[in-house]
Every structure is written in C-alpha cells, then in structure tokens.
Amino acid sequence: MSVVAIKDVTKRFEETTALQSIDLEIEPGEFVSLIGPSGCGKSTLLRIIGDLIEPTSGTAAVNGKPARQARIDRDYGIVFQDAVLYDWRTVAKNIALPLELAGWDRGRRTAKVKEMLELVELSGFESHYPWQLSGGMQQRVSIARALSFDPALLLMDEPFGALDEMTRERLNMELLQIWEASGSTVVFVTHSIAEAVFLSTRVVVMSPRPGRISNVIPIDLPQPRTATTREEPRFFELVTEVREALHLGHDLERAPA
Amino acid sequence: MSTTPAAVQPVPRGGMTRLVGRRLVDWLPAVVVLVGVIALWEGLIRALDVQAFLLPKPSEISRTLWDTRHELWAAGWFTFQEALGGFLLGSGLAILVALVLARWRILGAAFLPFAIAANAIPIIAFAPITNTWFSPLNKSSKIVIAAILCFFPVLVNTLRGLTSVNPRALELMHSYAAGETEIFRRVRIPTALPFIFTGLKVATVLAMIGAVVGEYFGGALNALGVLILTRARVFQFDEAWAGIVVACLMGLVLYLGVVALERATLRWVPSTSE
Amino acid sequence: MRRGAGRLLLFVLVLAVLWGLWEGYRWLWMREAWTWPFIVNGTSMPHLHSIFGALWSSARPGGVGPRLVTLLFHSALFTAKEAAVGFALGAVLGFTLGAFLAHFRILSRGFLPWVVASQTVPILVVAPMVVVWLNPKLPTRFQDWGAVAVIAAYLTFFPVTINTIRGLHSADRRALELMRSYAAGNWRILWKLRFPAALPYIFAALKVSATASVVGAIIGELPSSIQDGLGGQIINYSQYYTTQPTGLWATNVVAAALGITFFLVILVTEKLVVRRAPENFA
C-alpha cells in the first residue's frame, strides 16, 4: 500500500492553475524530492498531501486514508523553511508541542524529547530558547519536533533553504541518518539539484504554468550515501540528468504551442 | 562530525536587575539630566527672581512636600485607589472582550471599527455624567472614567496581538489537527502578550489621568485632584505642585508595576526594553 | 464594490445593535428598578432619540434661537482650532526631538526616561498655572486659546517623539548597508531610508495624538473659563443637567464627532502617504 497516493489532483487559485492533473504514488521508505522552478506548485502539492490545502479536484490519500483523516490521525510531521519555533517555549517544550496536543503524559514526553535531542545531536540544549540558537540548530529542533511522534511520513518544505552550504550539507547527512534510523518516508521540496540528487531515491521534476510533473528520475546511487557520494561520477551524471529535465520542462513552457 | 554549538548565552540577571531590566549604570545619564534640570530650575528662579507663587523653587516644593506629607499621602492613596480600580476594571474587561472578538472573527471584524472610533472620543467629557450616576464623592464615578479610558487602548492592542500570528505557525498547528481553543491557548495568547503589555503601559498613564481629571469635575475633599485644584485656586502653588509631584509618583508606581510584571512574564524575550 | 456594500451593511447593523443595547438596558433597568450600578431614569439615561432631537431643536428653552447643533458646531470649531494648532506644534516638536534623540544615543539615554515620566503629569492640573503664566506673555490675538493650544501640544509631543525614535531606528540594517555602499551621506540616508521607514510608526503616534489634542483642548478650556469652546459648553450643560440632561449628552456627541473627525483626517492622510505591505492578519 502506498504511503502517498495522489490521483488526478488539480488545484486552482482564482485564475491561476497551480497544479494540473497530478498523479503520484510514493511507496513506504522512499525519499522523494520535488524540484522545480518557482510557481511549479511543489509547495502546493506538499500542502495538499498534508491536507493544509484542499485540491480543487482529484484525491489525495495518505496511508490508505483520505488526507484529512491522516492529518487528524497525525500520520505525518511537517518541517518548514523557517523553523517556526515558538519564542516563548524552550527547545524541550517546542519539541514536546505535538506530544502535548496528543495528550502524552509528562514522563513519556520528557523521555521522548531526550531521545529526539540525541537524534539531532542537540543534547543539553533542553532549556535554551530559540533566539539563543543558530539557524541550523533551530532547524534541527524543528526536525526533532516533526519526528517526535514517530510519524510514518515526513513532509519537508525547503527546510535547509535558509542555511549556508556547509551547514546544509552537514544537515543533509544527518537527515539521511535519521531517515534510515526511523524508517519513515520523506517528501522533500527543494530548489537545489545537488541536494535533491544526494538525498533521494527518486526525484520528481515539476514545471510551472500549469504546475505539472514533467519527469520522474530514479536515483540509483548506492545506500547509505556518504560524504564521498557527491564526488562520484554517477552523481554528476544524475545531476546533469535532472538539470536537463528541468530545462526541458522550462523550454516546453516557453515553446510556442 | 562535530557540532560546535553556536548558542548564545543569556546575560545573567539576578533579582532586582532582572525586574528593572537594566544595570544601574544605564540609568546614570538620566540621573545626570534630572540633577541638572533641578539645579537649573532652582538657579534660574533665584537669578531671575521669577514670581515665586507661579513657579516655586524645587527646594520650596520639597519642603512643602515634607510638611504636608500626611495630607498628601492620604489624598494620594485615595486617588490611587480610583486609578488602580479603573485600571484593573478597564484592562481586565478589555482583554476579555479582545479574546471574544478574536475567537469569533466575524464579531471582531464588525466591532473593530467602533473600537477604533471610540478610542478617538474625548472620554473625559463624560465625567460630569458619571458624577451624576454615582455621587461625586464616591470613588466609583472616577473608577468608571478611568476604566473607560483604559478599555480601548488595551482592547485594540490585545486584539492586534491575538491576530498577528505567523501564518506558518498556524499551518503547523493545523498539521497537528489542533482545534481553535488549542491554537488560542498555545499560539495566539503567547503571541499577544507583548502587545498586551504595551497596551497596559499606556493604560497606567490614562488611569491616573482619568482619576485626577475626573475629580476636577467634582470629588471628595480628601482626593488628590481636588486638593491640587483647591490649592491652585487660592494661589498656594507650592502645595499644588507638591500634589502634582505625588500624582506623578503614583502614576510612575503603577507604570513600574506593569513593567515588573512584564519582565517576570516575558522571560523569553531577549531584551524586553521599549 | 460588493465588499464595500457588505461592510457598510455590517456597520449599520452594529450601530443598530448598539442602539438596541442602550434602549434595551434602559427599558430593563427601569422596569426592574434595579439600582446597581446606578439608577436608570430619564435623567441619567435619556432616550437616544431625545438626545438627537435636542440637537436639532433650539438651544434655548422656549424654542427661540439657533439650533443646539449649530451652537455646538461653532464651539467645536473653536476647540478644533486650538487642538489643530496644538497638534501641529506638538507634532513638529515631537518629530524634531525624536529625530535628535534617535541620532544622539547618549542624549536619548539621558532624556528618554524623563520624556516618559512627563506623561504622568495630569495635564489639567498644570493647565491653570500654564494659562495664568502664559496668557499675559502672548500677543493679544493669541490669548486665551493660545495657552490651550500649548496644552494640546504637550499631549501630542510625547507619542510622536517616542514613535519617531522607534521608527527611525526601525530601518533594516541591510538596507542601511546598501545605502552606505552607494556612498550616501547621513542626510540622504535620513531622507530616503530612515524617514520612509519611520512613517508608519509616526502615523500611529499621530493618530493617538490627534485624539489627545482634542482632549487636551477641551480640558484646557475648563480652568480658563473660556466660553467659546466645547469645554465651556460641557461646564455649562453639566450645571443644567438635572433640568436638561440632553444638553450635556448632546455636547458629548459633538465632542465625540470632533475627536473622530480629527482621527479620520490622519487616517486618510496615512492611506494616501504610506504604502506598505499588509501586516500579518491571520
């Protein structure tokens, strides 16, 4: 059973068609990146999966249920580009937020928070406030929070977009380790071709106006990925493939009908 | 891979410093200015021999302050109670109403223009009417004026705070399938706190003014506003000024009270300064 | 266009609800003869339509002479003049002081707390002394109303000062760096970057000050026993309250209208002058 099943989803905003007849299936354990230029609808698609936006037509199913039910059952965790931590809560209380809402008791919450902090290598920062942390650290807290209730699905909307390249590469590695350790499925929106190729098992290339999937490229790089993966010839080939797919989508859009 | 934490350590703040928010050194320039102004005031009056009864020397005022301290203290306390009562009543009501208006948006949208317009009305003109409702000698008439004065600024500020939440934070809560009440408790109210305190600080000033000015339209003999006015009418300006000083002090106490409460509550803001 | 009509409808609806609340409260309290918080009768809470009726009918009892609304309108105009002059004075002063203090940080540390403290002085109480002291010093044409304008200015300058400082400091650091990269001098930076960035803050203060000026003018008139303004009318009608309660209420209505008018002028000016991204409203 697919974790995510998008069937013929279309989304219109006023006069713009953000998404047109999208079909996508994601199997458990995959790491799927959505990549494309601005306006291709990748963030919209992510939000439809998360039932934060409703499609104009078509169906979105998560874990075999309608997306709405999946959201109510808290089947997924979401990470935004901006860490969206609550200023008035410590790191520990920020991570515990979804757990509080799910009604966990204090003991269980504390234990889980500790586990999560170890996972993202921020042990010892429980009582810090968000303003005391760097951007990369805040993002790690955001990831810890998203994973705190062990969701099957992780939705990430350009989570490392605001960080510098070196922090980004380091967090990419950490994310892969977390992905492996937790066995969850990840849908990852990004602008960066290298990041998409490095992280994913599949790269979904999208193009705008109207937003649609123009290509799906399987990434057959060996697992687990390491720091040297970026230096292999196959990596460069795949990056080129993705880049050309992006250009193709772009050219199709510009070519006379 | 090592992760060198780039965390920022908070400035250690103990007790009083935390409450007042700044080290004593920071206050130095202000103190210098105060001393300077007082000295200048005293000096100019001596030098220019300004008619004493219009603008008494600071030394005279302080002497009068000391001499009439019992009367002033009693009057000040009387009026302070009016101000405090009005402040608590008006602010409390305003926060409640703001919560209601933010929760049921349609009400908020409907009433907000009225709240903003009401804020533009000279409320103090209402004082003679409240004096008719409650006897002028009664504290209640001034409490009502002070409360009305405090109500609108606190309402407008609180409402702004409750409705200026980061849309991403709301998306996050929706992803947790959190209900409106939860969102209120965990996101809107904490976001609104700094705004509420801004409103409260404005309200302290208004409460004091409402109480004293309200008394002008009629009040008990042992009330501060009445005292100041009656002294001014018989040209005992040093006593009138002494009364004004007491009024200022009372207002300042109220203001600092709110500031202390703010620092105790908003521990999570890096610098809770204006 | 439809949204505008909807808004108008909502506005009228709320107005009707408020009217209903007033009359309803009045009816209920009179019927049940409740005495808390205060006794309700024709004197303490006249019918709203009586108040408007009184406005429209003659000011003097007996039905001769000009309408009350005309009389009050002229009083309002008088008060408006005092308030407007005071407002302009206070605003200019506040802006200048604010710009000064924003630029010289050390001055700001010294003066700011006292600027704040100055606001705890109950203005009315200073008013008689200010008026007595100032009046003889003013040229004849400025007497009486001039001193009241000073009161209004006093009430205006504080919010404008504080907000000017905040506004001038609110310029984004990166925007400043950009200006420096263009080798723009301090004045240029002030004019092209800091000042536009400060405008929203300054307008917020002006909105508050507009109202404060009207209040200041009304209050300032009281001790000076100036008959021509709204303050004088308030004293006048509060003396006749038991026999003619509608007069005082009517004066309050006119005073309210004056305050709102001042506020609207600033609001409209702001909409014309300032164009900025809408704040989060979520």
* Residue range C25-38, pLDDT digits in tens: 888 888 887 777 77
* Co-location of B42 and B93 in the same domain: no
Nearest CB partner across the interface for C241, out of B111, B128, B233: B128
Q: Is the pTM of this model over 0.80?
A: no
- C-alpha A175 chain-centroid distance: 10
Asked if C104 and C170 sit in the same domain, the reply is yes
Looking at the structure, tell me whether residues C26 and C119 fall in a common domain.
no
Query: Which segments of chain B does DSSP mark as H helices, in order?
Result: 15-20, 24-48, 58-67, 69-103, 105-119, 127-133, 139-163, 167-175, 180-183, 189-216, 224-233, 237-265
Report pLDDT for B139.
83
Same domain, B113 and B197: yes
Q: Report helix, strand or coil for B256.
A: helix
Do B47 and B82 sit in the same domain of this protein? Answer: no
Domain annotation covers residue C96: yes
CA distances from C195 to C182, C274, C279 (A): 18, 11, 19
Domain of C202, CATH number, reads 1.10.3720.10
- Residue B33 shares a structural domain with residue B158: no
Angle at B267 between CA B262 and CA B270, to 5 degrees: 105
Structural domain contains residue B6: no
Instruction: Choose one of B52, B69, B97: the last residue of a domain.
Output: B52
- Do residues C243 and C208 share a domain? yes
In the structure encoding, which two tokens stand for residue A101, read together? 């809402």
Name the 3-class secondary structure at C144: coil
Same domain for C202 and C135? yes
Pair (C146, C197) in one structural domain: yes
Q: What is the pLDDT of residue C34?
A: 78
What is the torsional sign of CA B122, C255, C160, C112? Answer: negative
> Residue C170, Cβ neighbours under 10 Å: how many?
13
Candidates C172, C200, C207, C206; CA nearest to C275 is C200
Are B135 and B75 in the same domain? yes
Q: Please tell me whether residues B180 and B44 are part of one structural domain.
A: no
**What integer pLDDT is reported at residue C119 of this predicted model?**
63
Same domain, C127 and C192: yes
Tell me the shortest Cα–Cα distance from A154 to chain B, in angstroms. 11
Average pLDDT, rounded, for chain A: 89
Domain that holds residue B36: 23-52
Residues 238-277 (C) with a CB less than 8 A from some CB of B: 238, 241, 248-249, 251-252, 255-256, 258-260, 262-263
Assigned domain for B3 exists? no
Judgement on whether residues B29 and B112 belong to the same structural domain of the protein: no
**Which CATH number is B191's domain given?**
1.10.3720.10
In-domain check, residue C39? yes
Chain B contacts in chain C segment 133-162 (CB below 8 A): 133, 162
Give the domain range for residue C84. Answer: 68-273
Tell me the mean pLDDT per 10 residues along chain B, length 274: 42 45 58 70 63 65 82 88 94 93 82 80 83 82 90 87 87 90 89 90 85 80 81 75 84 89 80 38
Model confidence at C109: pLDDT above 80: no
Region C46-71: mean pLDDT is 78
Per-residue pLDDT tens digits for C146-170: 878 888 888 888 888 888 888 887 7
Whether residues B71 and B113 fall in one domain: yes
Q: Look at chain B and report how many structural domains it folds into.
A: 2
Q: Please check whether residues C35 and C91 belong to one and the same domain.
A: no
Q: Tell me the nearest-neighbour CA distance from C183 into chain B, angstroms.
A: 31
Say what the pLDDT of residue B18 is: 46
Q: pLDDT by residue (tens digit) across A155-209?
A: 999 999 888 888 888 889 989 988 988 888 999 999 999 999 999 999 999 998 8
Q: Do A84 and B175 touch (CB under 8 A)?
A: no
Compute the nearest-CA separation of B166 from chain A (Å): 8
The beta-carbon neighbor of C110 closest among B33, B111, B163 is B33
Question: Is C123 within the bounds of a domain?
Answer: yes
Residues C75 and C159 in one domain: yes
Is C63 within the bounds of a domain? no
Residue C126's H or E segment, with its range, is helix C123-134
Residue C50 resides in a domain: no
Residue C118 and residue C217 in one domain = yes
From CA A5, how far away is CA A63, in angstroms rounded?
8
A86 with B187: Cβ contact below 8 A? yes
C58 close to C66: Cβ distance less than 8 angstroms: yes
The verdict on B194 and B173 lying in the same domain is yes
Question: Is C61 domain-assigned?
Answer: no
Q: What is the mean pLDDT of chain C?
A: 79
List of E strands, chain A: 4-13, 16-26, 31-35, 57-62, 65-66, 76-79, 153-157, 185-190, 202-207, 212-218
> Please, which pLDDT band fits residue C50 given cuts at 50, 70 and 90?
confident
Set of chain A residues whose Cβ sits within 8 Å of the Cβ of B3: 121, 170
Same domain? C27 vs C138: no
The mean pLDDT value for C126-150 works out to 72
Q: Which portions of chain A are predicted below pLDDT 50?
A: none
C-alpha distance from residue C104 to each of A17, C98, C107, C112, C179 (Å): 54, 10, 5, 12, 20
